[in-house]
Structures are given as C-alpha cells and as structure tokens.
Chains A and B, each alone.
Chain A
C-alpha cells in the first residue's frame, strides 16, 4: 500500500477533471432536487407522517441504480481497454493499492454527491422554516440517512469497482453494477415485504432476511439506532468485493 496516497490523489484529481463525474453529479442533483421538491410540496399541502428528508432518503435506490454505475464503470474497464492498467502494474504499486485508491476515490465522490444534496433541505429550511408549521426539516433524519448512505455506500461502490474489474467495456461494467445493485436492493426490500413469518416452509429465510433488510437499515440509522450487524454486513461485503477486485486485477492477462 506504499503508493496508495499517490494513486488516491491522482484518482481524485482525475475524477474532478472528468466530464463523466460532472455529468453524474448533474444527474444526481437534478434527480434528488426534483424528488425533494415534490416531497416538500406534498408535505406543505397536507401534513404527513414523514418529513421530506425521510421521503427523499427512502428513494436512495433511485440514484444508487442510475448514478453510481456511472461513477464506477470507467475505473478499471477503461484502463483495461486502453492498456494503461498493464502499464500501471509495471510499477512497484501493488494491485491492492490500485484497487483501494480507485475505490476510495469513487466513495469520496459518492459521499460528496450526497453531502451536496443535504444543501437542498437546508435551503428549504432557510427559506420556509420561519413561515411553515409543517415538519419540512428533520436534521436527525438527515444525519441518520447520510450515515446510512455513507456506510452502505462502501459496499455499493465496492460492487461497482468489482464489476468494472471484470470487463473491458465501461457500458457492460455499468450494466453489471446496475443488475447487482438492483438485485441487492430488491432482495432487501422483498425480505421486508414478504410475510415470511407466516410461511413455515420459509422459516430458514428469517435469519438472512433480518440481515438483508436494506430499507430497515435506513430506518434504523434515521432513528438513531446504531446496530452493529448492518455495519459488519456492509464492511465484510466491502472487503469481500475489494478482495475479489484485487484478484481480478492480479489475474488480468
């Protein structure tokens, strides 16, 4: 990991100067801004049991599926297509340092997107906070939601990096990431929706279902409940994905 810092700075710089990142940021902020705006309108018309911030964070799967693949798709696929990954591997930099630098760069970018989004609720609060009686702003829900995004983002970004490692096509990498994240989110959502408790023959699913309930994790974070199980799930998933990515980079020949 000796060259990790050099590679991370290079990756962050490349991300900052890449049109791809700015296009993804534009798409993300437009999408989230629109969703938040509709949630604010809905809350301002009739009082709701939820705040606009909570509602917007519950739609985290939308940017996750549409924007995150754009951030990670080029990380390795493009380098493999151009051959620059081979050139990088001729230096003393280890494959692990390369994978971790690309991962952390993408995760920081993803985190910055979400931190930028939090400006919307803050601006709404500054504009309407003094005149509106409705609960339009909930700082604890925002902080909890952001924590969930940052923690689960470790796994989600690492999956994007892994998908980018296994192909030379950025489009295919984006598609693979989309499908994997869709499956992960859908399984998590389905686990919460299915009446597993009442189906005896699905009894064996109760335990994994309790771990994979993605939206439940968001709810827990937003409520300020700090459960170590989702943390361990996301961290081990991240380590597994990145470990596989390192193996894929080492084996690229």
Chain B
C-alpha cells in the first residue's frame, strides 16, 4: 500500500492508462497530471475516451493497464482512500428521484465521512453555494429541472471538501444564466481543490481552466497551458493592418528587419486604405515593434490587430495534427 502524502506534487496522476473492451481500445497509454488547486480542462471529440478516463480515475471502472492515483493514493490498490480525497460527477449525473435534495445531500455527506457534527453545516453551505437553498431545498429531486439537478450533482461533489473534483460535462443542458453560475462556482474552487472538467463548450473551458489536456481516439494529443499550446501549434504571428502604405512598400520595410516575413494584400477600404496581412515567424522581434516601425517610417496606420487563436483553433489543430501524424508530436 502506498504511503499517504499529505501534500503530493500532483493531485491527479494518470500514468500510461489503457482501457480495452475486447478488440476495441478506448484509451491507450494516456498520461497526464493535475496539480493541487489547479483547474484542468479535459477535451476531446465524442468517443475520444474522456468519460472512460474519468471513470477510471473515479474508481468506478478498472483500467486494463497503467496507474491512476488521487492525492497520492492508488485508485486500484487503495480505492477507499482515493475516494475519500475525490468527488466525481458523471456525465448524466444520476440522482435518486424519490429523495428530497436535503435528504440526499445528508445521506451523501454521511457516506463521504463528513464529521456528524458538521453534516448540517456542510449541507447548508453547499446548497447555498449552488443556489439550491431557496428554490430546491425541500423538493423531490425527480421534480427538479435539468439545471437544478446539475446543481445538486455539483453540490454533492463539493460536500466533503475533497482535494480533487472530477466533473464530466457539468454544464451540459444548462441555459446561459446557469452556465455562468456554474462557471463562477468552478472558478471559485481555484487554489482550493484540483478540478478536472470535461466539456464540449471550449469557450467555457478557456475561461475557467488553467491548463487543458486534449485527447483524440484514446490518445493524448496535447496538454499544457492554453498560451503555451497556442505558441506550439500556431508559432507564426499574423497581423491584420489597415494602412495607406501598399503591400510592396510594407514588404520592403519589414524585410529589412525580418527577411522571413510575408506580406499579403487583402483588399482596400475607401480606395485609399489598404488591408494587409503580415505573417511573422515564431519569436520574431517584430512581433512587439511592427506598429512602432511603421509609424517611425512615416506610414499612416489606422488599425493593427494580431489574429487570436482560441481554444477551438488549438483543439482543432491538435486533433488534426494527431490524425495526420498518428500521435502527439
């Protein structure tokens, strides 16, 4: 039995995790980690193996090979200890429909080893945090809307103040107001709990998560901070300019400082203003000084903007790269 580390370096560790169903491989040699207090987005297309991975980490499914640990405790060898540090909300968030919200949370608190004298306080706190107190406290779970059921699931996950929270699609089926509420709630967990969250709404993940792990067809294709992945997958910087200078004039100016740069005319506005696209290679110093350089050279500049690559672009580029190259670079 592994020794319990009160402050492990990683709250969640997946090491060479593999799960096979007969001849079908759901996930293969998947390795990643989540640091304590970190919020990590777990992304992948449908059928990529996200839910399988989360279920293995939660201990509700056995992996075929590899190692999974939660707060230093092996999920396979010491499941009870691992579960004490972890809360898991599955994708469809199954709840007993014949229990009232408060009764259900009280039962779950008992099963999660919350100290008996603290149960009422914790139940009240999570109901308050998840905005359940006023509108759902005494109602049967079966009578609640999808949004409130999701809140009950999240309240259950936070009940025992676990070190690790695993949320599989927590905002699925929620309206924009509810999504905002859940997003703020998850954001408030930063630094307190390690959160592994899967979601199809990439914009939402980008807003909430410190780091992302992207899988495709059961294999890891990218992981890291969004900014680092952006630099890795889109090393070039692309600037869109509106200026009175022509593309040829700008090309001459830019080539002096960055010979590898490309300048391309995109169109004109009001016949006197040209729209030009400038592509700079990775780590080019011009990235910071292009606007200054143009103004110093006497070129009028109405607009300059660097093209922004969102998580959606990163996700698509990473999965495309994996498909064409057969794995992670």
Same complex: yes
| Beta-carbon contact of B107 and A92 below 8 Å | no
Instruction: For the complex, give the distance between the alpha carbons of A17 and B96 in Å.
Output: 13
Q: Is the CB of B94 within 8 A of A91?
A: no
- A17's contact among B60, B61, B87, B98, by CB below 8 Å, is which? B98
Chain B interface residue count, CB cutoff 8 Å, equals: 25
Whether B95 pairs with A84 at a CB distance below 8 angstroms is yes
Task: Decide yes or no whether A83 CB sits under 8 A from chain B.
Answer: yes
Interface residue from B55, B59, B83, B94 paired with A82 (Cβ < 8 Å):
B94
Which of A3, A7, A82, A91 contacts B96 (CB under 8 A)? A82
Contacts known (A84-B95, A92-B113); A253 close to B60, Cβ less than 8 A: yes
Interface-centre pick from B97, B110, B113 (highest chain A CB count, 10 A) = B110
Docked Cα-Cα span, A119 to B87, in Å, equals 48
A86 touches B94 (CB 8 A): yes
Q: What are the residues of chain B within 8 A of A58 when measuring CB–CB? A: none
Q: Given A84-B96, A89-B59, output 7 extra A-B contacts at Cβ < 8 Å.
A: A6-B111, A83-B92, A86-B60, A90-B59, A91-B108, A92-B112, A253-B61
Nearest Cβ distance between residue A116 and chain B, in whole angstroms?
Answer: 24
Those 10 A-B pairs whose CB atoms lie nearest each other, nearest first: A83-B94, A91-B111, A253-B61, A90-B88, A6-B110, A92-B83, A84-B94, A92-B80, A86-B60, A93-B111
How far is it, in angstroms, between the C-alpha of A126 and the C-alpha of B58 when the chains are bound? 59
CB distance from A248 to the nearest CB of B (A): 14
For B55, list chain A residues within 8 Å (CB). Answer: 86, 253
Total CB contacts across the A-B interface at under 8 A: 52
Mask for A85-98, Cβ within 8 A of B = 1, else 0? 01111111110000
Size of the A side of the interface (Cβ < 8 Å), in residues, is 20
Most chain A CB within 10 A, of B55, B60, B84, B108, is at B60
Closest partner residue, chain B, to A87 (CB atom): B94
Chain B residues, Cβ within 8 Å of A92: 80, 83-84, 111-113
Out of A3, A17, A18, name the residue touching B111 (CB < 8 Å): A3
For residues 71 through 88 of chain B, which have their beta carbon under 8 Å from a beta carbon of chain A? Answer: 80, 83-84, 86-88
Question: Known contacts A17-B98, A253-B60; is A90 also within 8 Å of B107 by CB?
Answer: no
The residue of chain A having its C-beta at the shortest distance from the C-beta of B92 within the complex is: A83
Indicate whether A229 reaches chain B with its CB closer than 8 angstroms.
Answer: no
